[in-house]
Amino acid sequence: MRLGRLFTLLMTASTLLAPRAGAAAGCDTNDAATSIRTSGGNCFSFHASPGSASGGPLIVFMHGDGGGSVSAAYWTVLTQQADALAAATSARFVVLVRPGYASPGGRSSGSAKSGDDDYTPANVKLAAEAIAALKNRFQASRTVVGGTSGGAATAALVMGRHAGTADAAWLNACPCQVQPWRAWREQSAGRRTPWTASLSPDENLSGVAIGARIVVIAGDKDSNTPPRFSQAYVDAARTRGVDAHLVMAPGATHGRVWRSAEAAAALRGLLR
């Protein structure tokens, strides 16, 4: 069966089987199938793609910024694409609800702000603890941490501050150079509230584990986070000896980068 046809069938099935908007799940109901507690007692909600056995590769993906909430429409896109990518890669794909966020899949511990600025040390630590717990539950043979936009920044910070949490990072549309990106957003979109609490991935590379691999995917039509902020991060990582690469996704906008063919190919490469 052609890959495009497989994606179409999976997306249709996911729509039919998706939970009703507003239905309680995850940490909201202490559902073991869609939530996990860390050793510190914090709870994280997630969606795990079906069909893959424990003991194989694990992908933990974090969504973008949204002022502390994930809409029903966005959650549907996240879970549908996760299931399609899981089927295409034979890996277990987990969409993790970021620290402090509420979603149709449940809430997660942590603190998220309506104006964002929440790539904080505390939230990064919580994300790392959640990923470690998921690795243990699914007995992962290899773990890729990934995300899009703010989720990509969080994933990059997990790699840089919590060595050994993941073997590789799959970063899409990443604001990986936070302060220059925020300055640019002030000029381009009038976002005048400064971010003072967030860590910047390009300044937190010292803890990346030896042998870890990082791929950053950027879209040339991304008007929210232009590729230069991804390139700056990759350059900083390579200066430190990290195996990091930038992949361009021609025609991809900010929201489409992680769903591009280039992103899927990069993910398959990280799983090998």
Read off the pTM.
Answer: 0.90
Q: Measured between alpha carbons, how far is residue 134 from residues 58, 89, 93 in Å?
A: 9, 19, 11
Residues 6+ apart with CB under 8 A from 37: 43, 44, 133
Cβ atoms of 105 and 31 within 8 Å: the answer is no
Closest CA relative to residue 155, chosen from 108, 204, 117 = 204
247: β partners: 217
Q: pLDDT at position 144, please?
A: 98
- Taking the C-alpha atoms of residue 61 and residue 51, their distance in angstroms, rounded to an integer, is 17
Query: What is the predicted pLDDT for the residue at 168?
Result: 98
| Helix, strand counts (H, E) of the chain | 7, 10
Q: What crossing angle do the helices spanning 72-89 and 3-17 adopt, rounded to 10°? A: 140
Residue 191 has a pLDDT of 67
pLDDT the model gives residue 14 = 39
* Closest C-alpha among 178, 169, 180 to residue 243: 169
| Structural contact between residues 45 and 97, judged by C-beta atoms closer than 8 angstroms | yes
Beta bridge partners, 60, equal 94, 145
Contact 99, 123 (CB under 8 A): yes
d(CA 232, CA 128): 24
Domain edges within the chain: 3-18+43-270
64-96 pLDDT, tens per residue?
999 999 999 999 999 999 999 999 998 999 999
| Regions of the chain with pLDDT less than 70 | 1-24, 52-53, 190-192
Rounded to whole angstroms, how far apart are CA atoms 165 and 209? 9
pLDDT tens per residue, range 41-72: 999 999 999 876 678 999 999 999 999 999 99
State the pairing for strand pair 213-219/168-172: parallel
End-to-end alpha carbon distance in the chain: 22
Say which CATH class 3-18+43-270 falls into: alpha beta
Which DSSP string do the residues of 18-45 spell out, in sequence order? SPPTT---GGGTT-TTTEEE-TTS-EEE
What pLDDT sits at residue 10?
38
Six token digits for residue 17: 């089987």
Please give the C-alpha separations between residue 16 and each of 72, 80, 185, in angstroms, as whole numbers. 14, 11, 38
Question: How much is the pLDDT for 88?
Answer: 92
